[in-house]
Amino acid sequence: METNSYLDMELLRFSTAGSVDDGKSTLIGRLLYDSKSIFQDQYDAIEETSRRKGEENVNLALLTDGLRAEREQGITIDVAYRYFATPKRKFIIADTPGHIQYTRNMVTGSSTSNLSIILVDARHGVVEQTCRHTFISSLLGIPHVVFCVNKMDLVNYSEEVYLKIKNDLEAFSSKLNVKDIHFVPISALNGDNVVNKSENMDWYQGSSLMYLLENIHIGSDYNHIDCRFPVQYVIRPQSEKYHDYRGYAGRIAGGIFKPGDKVAVLPSGFTSSIKSIDIMDGSLSEAFAPMSVTITLDDDIDVSRGDMLVRDNNRPNINQDIDIMICWLNEKKMLLNGKYAVKHTSNDVRCIIKEVKYKININNLHRIEDDKEVNMNEIARISIRTTKPLLYDKYINNRFTGSLILIDEGTNETVGAGMII
C-alpha cells in the first residue's frame, strides 16, 4: 500500500446481519482473508482451534467470536467490531448476532452504519429474520442496504433461485424507507462474488460484494444542508495569551459553517456571527459534519453545553412533547408514565412516557394496537414529555439531532433507543 494513497482513503462503516447459521461470520472471515487482513498468527490460532474441535475446514467464524462464552457455545453474543482496509477505503464492521433475543445488538451495531449487509440463505429464501433485519436497517436510517444471497453453492448456483429471492426482497423492501438497495449472489464459504467475481455464476452481471463496498457513493450520507452545532464543551484557557478567549467546542451535526455566518444560539435565541472556526493547527474557512471544531462568536453572549448554534433562518424543532420510535433494550419492560433520564445531542433531560401508540410486529410490519406492553427487543411508537424542550430534527433528516437514548435512573443502564418522528 502506498504511503500517500493511504492518506486519501474514505471510511465506510457497515453492519452485518443474518439468521443463525446464515454464514455471517464466515462471510466476514472471507472478506478479511481475501483482502489479506488476517494475520498469520491469527490464522494459525484459529486453525489450531478448528483442528482441536475436529472441524474439517479452518473455521473463519472463530475470528470474530472474541469472548470465551462465544467460542464455547459457537454463537456470537455481543456486537464485535472488525477492521480492514483496501487501497480505497477503510472499513469498520459491526458484526451483530442474529438471534431473536439480540435485536438490541443489531440496533446498536447499525446506529452508526453507512451500509447494512443482510444475509439470506439461498436454500430458505426470505424468512422472518430477513424481514426483521431489513426493517431495522430501514428504521435506523442506514442509507445503503446490500442483500447477499448466500450459500449459492448449495443450490447449484441457480439463477432461478436467486431471482425468486431477489423479487421477494424487492417486494418487501418497497414498503420500507431504504434509499439504495443492492443484491449479490454469493458463496461465503467458497468465496464466490465476495472479493472476486464468481466463475460459477456467469449469469450474474453485477459486481462482487467487495466492489460495492469499495465504490458505493457515501459522500451524501451526512446532512450538509441544515446547520446544527450542539455545544459540547466551553473552552476558556484563562491564560495570559488567551485571556479573553471563549470557544465553543463540538462536533458539527449538520450543515456547513463559515466565519461571518449569522447564527442563532438556541434555546436563548440570541444572534451573533461566527468570528472564527478554530482547530489547533489554525483556523478554518469552513467546517462541515462530522468535523470536531471550536467556534468563537463576535458577541459575548451566554452559551453553554446543551445549547445549539444554528443558522438564523433554518432552525430545528423546539418542543417538550415528542413522538419517537423506540427500540427497548432492557430486560425490565418500559413503564408507562415511568420517568427516565434522556440523553440527546449534548443535552441531559428527564422525560415521562406519556403514551404507547402502537407496537410494531417487526416480522411483517403490522401495527399491534391491543397490546401496549413494551418489552426487550420490541419496537413501538411512543409519546414522551421532556422536562425542558429538546432542539431536534426528525431522525430521517439527521441521525445526530434526531436520536436519543433513555436511561433507567435507578440502574443507570441504557434502556431505550429512540428515533424522533
Show contacts with another protein in window 268-287 (CB under 8 A).
Answer: 278-280
Interacting residue with another protein among 241, 300, 313, 337 (CB under 8 A)? 241
Interacting positions 51-70 with another protein (CB under 8 A): 63-69
Contact between 396 and another protein by CB under 8 A: the answer reads: no
- Per-residue DSSP letter, 216: S
Q: Does 301 bind another protein (CB under 8 A)?
A: no
By CB under 8 A, the residues from 242 to 261 that bind another protein are 242, 245, 247, 249-251, 256
Dihedral angle of Cα 307, 313, 315, 319, to the nearest 10 degrees: 100
In angstroms, the CA 123 to CA 114 distance is 28
CA torsion through residues 51, 55, 60, 62, sign: negative
Task: Give the one residue of 60, 201, 351, 407 binding another protein; rule: CB under 8 A.
Answer: 407
Among 128, 233, 260, 366, binds another protein (CB under 8 A): 233
- Contact stretch for another protein (CB under 8 A) within 16-24, 149-157, 186-194, 342-350: 342-350
Q: Binding segment for another protein among 23-31, 122-130, 162-170, 400-408 (CB under 8 A)?
A: 400-408
Per CB under 8 A, contacts with another protein among 308-337 are 329
Q: Are 178 and 171 in contact (CB under 8 A)?
A: no
Output the DSSP codes for 17-74.
Answer: E--TTSSHHHHHHHHHHHTT-S-HHHHHHHHHHHHHTT-SS--GGGGT--SHHHHHHT
CB of 407 to another protein, least distance (A): 6
Closest to another protein by CB, 110 or 272 = 110
* Residue 2 or 56 with smaller CB distance to another protein: 2
Residues 146-205 contacting another protein, CB under 8 A: none
Rounded to whole angstroms, how far apart are CA atoms 293 and 286? 10
The distance of closest approach from Cβ of residue 399 to another protein in the complex, given in angstroms and rounded to an integer, is 6
Cis, peptide link before residue 230, omega less than 30° from 0: no
Closer of 83 and 203 to another protein (Cβ): 83
Contact string 2-21 vs another protein (x = CB under 8 A): -x--xxxxxx----------
Of 157 and 229, CB closest to another protein: 229
Under the criterion CB under 8 A, does residue 90 sit at the interface with another protein?
yes
Can residue 129 be called a binding residue for another protein (CB under 8 A)?
no
**Interacting residue with another protein among 144, 151, 166, 344 (CB under 8 A):** 344
DSSP string computed for 263-286: EEEETT--EEEEEEEEETTEEES-
Give me the least distance between CB of 124 and another protein, in Å please. Answer: 29
Cβ proximity of 319 and 389 under 8 Å: yes
- CA–CA separation, 140 vs 142, rounded Å? 6
Nearest CB to another protein, comparing residues 90 and 372: 90
Is 339 among the residues that bind another protein (CB under 8 A)?
no
Q: Please report, as residue ranges, which positions from 22 to 41 form the binding site for another protein (by CB under 8 A).
A: 39-41
- CA-based nearest residue to 344, from 304, 291, 402, 394: 402
What amino acid is encoded at 240 in this protein? E
Give how many residues touch another protein by CB under 8 A.
Answer: 81
111 counts as binding another protein under rule CB under 8 A: yes
Residues 279 and 286: their CA atoms lie apart, in Å, by: 11
Q: Of the candidates 47, 55, 89, 164, which one interacts with another protein according to CB under 8 A?
A: 89
Rounded to 5°, angle at Cα 142 from 126 and 123: 15
Cβ closer to another protein: 46 or 195?
46
CA angle 288, 246, 236 (to 5 degrees): 115
Q: How far apart are CA 222 and CA 342, in angstroms?
A: 24
CA dist list (Å): 302 to 234, 266, 297: 11, 11, 11
In this complex, which beta carbon is closest to another protein, that of residue 32 or of residue 119? Answer: 32
User: Mask: binding to another protein, 211-230, rule CB under 8 A, as x and -?
Assistant: --------x--x-x------
